[in-house]
Structure 1
Amino acid sequence: MTVAGQPSEKTIGFRALAVVLVPFLSSIAKIEFTDPQKLPRIGAFVLSPNHYSNIDPVIMGWSIWKLGRAPRFLAKASLFRVPVVGAVLRGTGQIPVERAGSVRGSEPLKAAHELADKGNAVIIYPEGTLTRDPQIWPMKGKTGAVRMALEQNLPLIPAAHWGTQAVMGRYSNKISLFPRKTIKVAFGDPVDLDEFRGKPINSALLTAATELVMADITALLEGLRGETAPVERWNPAAHNQKETGRFE
């Protein structure tokens, strides 16, 4: 949605891509929304979804587009090398992070801040990479999404989706075209970060706030899956897993 006095989020590049991509995506999958009204229609915000397939950014971007917003991501750089996914990310001005869970230099966060200043949505995967959880539940999160929300005083909207693994399996670059898949997408209320706002930002604060975000994302995913997540969130470090690359 366009705010008076501001240029449209849906630039020519986005619209040109949508002409090609939306019909293709519609042919291989359909989206079923839960609480789509919880996605802000105007203004800047941080959106934090779960992450378990390389095609997640495309599907989440399509979902947000269908609801009237133009998606822009702070996403790991390796996704930009995935066929189809990479072309989409580059063509729409997405923001690469060179290493999962970290930012080399200030440029990615600076670019994200500039997008927020323009009233745009910024999508940040708090897990930083595909979840390592064997049952693909959300794992321990990184602090980038919370840091941006607190530094910019933005609402942080949790989101979850289920079904993208049927379109593109974890660690796969191959798209399953048939049969047509159903992908469920849910949005939550803004994460309550009031107890953290206005305080000095340090590691302990960011870690505590990030756990609230991961709890909200997990609750949304439980609703979509109709299952209960493990009590203990998966921590790759506790299982001697690297933060990057495959573990299977």
Structure 2
Amino acid sequence: MPRTTRWVVRLLHPFLMRITRRDWRGAEKLPTGGYVLAPNHISHLDPILISHFMVDHGVTPRFLAKDTLFDVKVVGGILRGAEQIPVYRSTVGAAESLAAATAAVEAGQVVTIYPEGTITRDPALWPMSGRTGAVRVALASGRPLVPLAQWGAQDILWPYSKRFRFLPRKTIHVRVGDPVDLSDLEGQELTEKLLHEATDRLVDALTALVGEIRGELPAGPRVDVHTLEKPRTNYSPPTNTSTEEH
């Protein structure tokens, strides 16, 4: 574990233990060696809370993070010191980011990639359709693609808001699923059709795991991540999304 990561863990771990309850299940499904961890995205707090789960299960957190974050004072230095991988917006830059992620996974590291690429815009916070980065890295490296559903971060910090709600203490739910079966796609040309088929399998698995936590399934069609508008920043959480109600 990088020195910077150890420092951040020592700083945040006691705080997270105080402000959260933890309902973590399925950690025994985490593979050994390198793999791609693919969580749903519901809050700006997700990386911290998912890292809490990872560290407590002996996994060094390493994420693909937006390149603009590396330009922020202090934050950028922490990200670089913790060996996070920047994602660049250009086509060439994106390819380089995925190549770096693939190399890390092949070297036995765990790399976390959000399939949606951004916080969900679904009004009820269900997973949106995915981008293909996570499956590209899994197929290129030949290593497992592991879905991780999480729920509860939105109760502390609602998507695109700046208001924290630490009290009463919130429950952070995590469910690790079985690795997504991509065996029938291995060795094939990575066409857009194949990549989207694999990504659909991943998002279906994530949605089922989130549904397991929430005790319900989506009522409407899946939001298409490729047709998103500017995120809303002034809306309040609907009453039926709280972890404390399930």
Quickly name the TM-score band, shorter chain normalised.
0.7 to 0.9
Given that 1:53 and 1:168 are in contact with CA atoms closer than 8 Å, whether structure 2 keeps it comes out as yes
- Return the match for 1:27 from 15, 18, 26: 18
Equivalent residue number for residue 13 of structure 1: 4
Equivalent residue number for residue 200 of structure 2: 211
Q: What is the Cα deviation at residue 89 of structure 1?
A: 3.7
Q: Does 1:185 align with 2:174?
A: yes
TM-score (norm 2): 0.86
Q: What is the Cα deviation at residue 108 of structure 1?
A: 1.4
**CA–CA separation in structure 2 for the residues paired with 1:85 and 1:226:** 37
Q: What is the Cα deviation at residue 97 of structure 1?
A: 1.4
- Return the match for 2:30 from 36, 39, 48: 39
**Alignment root-mean-square deviation, CA:** 2.4
Given that 1:76 and 1:129 are in contact with CA atoms closer than 8 Å, whether structure 2 keeps it comes out as no
Q: What is the Cα deviation at residue 75 of structure 1?
A: 2.6
Most deviating of 111-120 and 48-57: 111-120
Equivalent residue number for residue 147 of structure 1: 136
Given that 2:126 and 2:207 are in contact with CA atoms closer than 8 Å, whether structure 1 keeps it comes out as yes
Equivalent residue number for residue 46 of structure 2: 56
**CA–CA separation in structure 2 for the residues paired with 1:247 and 1:132:** 8
Equivalent residue number for residue 223 of structure 1: 212
User: What is the aligned length?
Assistant: 233
Equivalent residue number for residue 241 of structure 1: 228
1:84-99 equivalence runs, <5 A:
89-99=79-89
Deviations 1:153-180 (CA, angstroms, capped at 9, x unpaired): 0100001001000111101244333222
TM-score (norm 1): 0.85
- Return the match for 1:69 from 29, 51, 59: 59
Given that 2:40 and 2:114 are in contact with CA atoms closer than 8 Å, whether structure 1 keeps it comes out as yes
Give the 3 Å change call, closer, same or farther, for CA 11–194 of structure 1 in structure 2: same
**CA–CA separation in structure 2 for the residues paired with 1:86 and 1:108:** 16
Q: Which runs of 5+ in 2 are unaligned?
A: 234-246
Given that 1:191 and 1:213 are in contact with CA atoms closer than 8 Å, whether structure 2 keeps it comes out as yes
Q: What is the Cα deviation at residue 54 of structure 1?
A: 0.8
Equivalent residue number for residue 160 of structure 1: 149
Q: What is the Cα deviation at residue 104 of structure 1?
A: 2.5
Q: What is the Cα deviation at residue 81 of structure 1?
A: 7.3
Deviations 1:109-130 (CA, angstroms, capped at 9, x unpaired): 2321231132010000000111
Q: Which runs of 5+ in 1 are unaligned?
A: 1-9
Q: What is the letter of the counterpart of residue 113 of structure 1? A: T
Over the matched positions of the two proteins, sequence identity in percent amounts to 43
Q: What is the letter of the counterpart of residue 153 of structure 1? A: G
Equivalent residue number for residue 117 of structure 1: 106
Given that 1:57 and 1:85 are in contact with CA atoms closer than 8 Å, whether structure 2 keeps it comes out as no
Q: What is the letter of the counterpart of residue 133 of structure 2? A: G
Give the 3 Å change call, closer, same or farther, for CA 173–190 of structure 1 in structure 2: same
Secondary structure (helix, strand or coil) at the match of 1:195 reads helix
1:120-139 equivalence runs, <5 A:
120-139=109-128
Give the 3 Å change call, closer, same or farther, for CA 184–87 of structure 1 in structure 2: farther
Q: What is the letter of the counterpart of residue 241 of structure 1? A: L
Equivalent residue number for residue 3 of structure 1: none
Given that 1:75 and 1:125 are in contact with CA atoms closer than 8 Å, whether structure 2 keeps it comes out as no
Query: Runs in 1 of length 4+ with deviation above 4 angstroms?
Result: 78-88
Give the 3 Å change call, closer, same or farther, for CA 180–119 of structure 1 in structure 2: same
